[in-house]
Amino acid sequence: MTLDLGHLREYLFVASKGVVPKLSIAKEWLAAYQSLMIFFATIWRFYCNECRSTRNRDGTHSSPSIITVIIGWGSFAVSTGLFSLIVWGLLEGLPDSDMQINASFPAHMKADIICLQTLTLVWLGYPIVALLARLGHIGLPGSYYNATWSTLKDGFFAFLDITSKAGLAIFFVLKATWVPANVENGLIAAGEAYLNITYS
């Protein structure tokens, strides 16, 4: 998903002849950061059980150790930091789709900007939902999950998955019906020629 949105950002840079600035961080690096983000989120969620209590063999629960708390919440913080860097990297310098742009800037490229902004900002829901679900379980045993919170969490995650991943696919399928391929290819060719002259 990060690579796909990175491709869209790179297309906008070329097709707009640099009006949309180049990515400050290469899309490949952003995708690598996403892998690290998921790794640290996994430590927090599964290895440290969201820093919840541990179930003992006799059925009682013990509070997490200081080390577990440090590793768990530290991993959550690192994951959130990487997430913020990815979002910033994809959106940094992106012009407002409603800004006054020269007349040669096609309307469908404004739709591309809105798509990039929307599908990136939708991701903000993931850490928010994860944190709210964790706060909803404060005081409950570490082996117990509230049915309401678990259902809401899974439901919101499913909504976010459908909105972001399916949303990207639907957008490009619809875009293919109103923007001919020769128009897109013409913008890319003109943009590359302009940028080669400008930066050579």
Which token pair is 89? 């990297």
Alpha-carbon span 158 to 167, nearest angstrom: 13
pLDDT above 80: residue 199:
no
CB–CB of 52/142 below 8 Å? yes
Q: How confident is the model over 79-97, as a mean pLDDT? A: 90
Number of helical H runs and strand E runs in the chain: 8, 2
- Range of 93's domain? 2-199
Which token pair is 73? 């919440």
CB–CB of 145/154 below 8 Å? no
Read off φ and ψ for residue 190, nearest 5 degrees.
Answer: -65, -40
Flag the least confident range among 58-67, 90-99, 157-166, 188-197.
90-99
User: How many domains does the chain contain in total?
Assistant: 1
pLDDT of residue 104: 55
Environment class of residue 104 by beta-carbon count within 10 Å: exposed (0-12), middle (13-18) or buried (19+)? exposed
Which token pair is 160? 């976010």
> 159-180 b/e with 16+ CB inside 10 Å = b?
ebeebbeebbeebeeeeeeebe
pLDDT above 70: residue 97:
no
Centre a 10 Å sphere on the Cβ of residue 135 and count the other Cβ atoms it contains: 9
Mean pLDDT of the chain: 90
pLDDT of residue 132: 92
Q: What's the pLDDT tens digit per position in 140-169?
A: 888 888 899 989 999 999 999 999 989 999
How far CA 185 is from CA of 48, 163, 190, 192, in Å, comes to 49, 28, 9, 10
pLDDT of residue 163: 92
pTM attached to this predicted model: 0.87
Identity of the amino acid at 136: G
Q: What's the pLDDT tens digit per position in 40-77?
A: 999 999 999 999 998 888 888 899 999 999 999 999 99
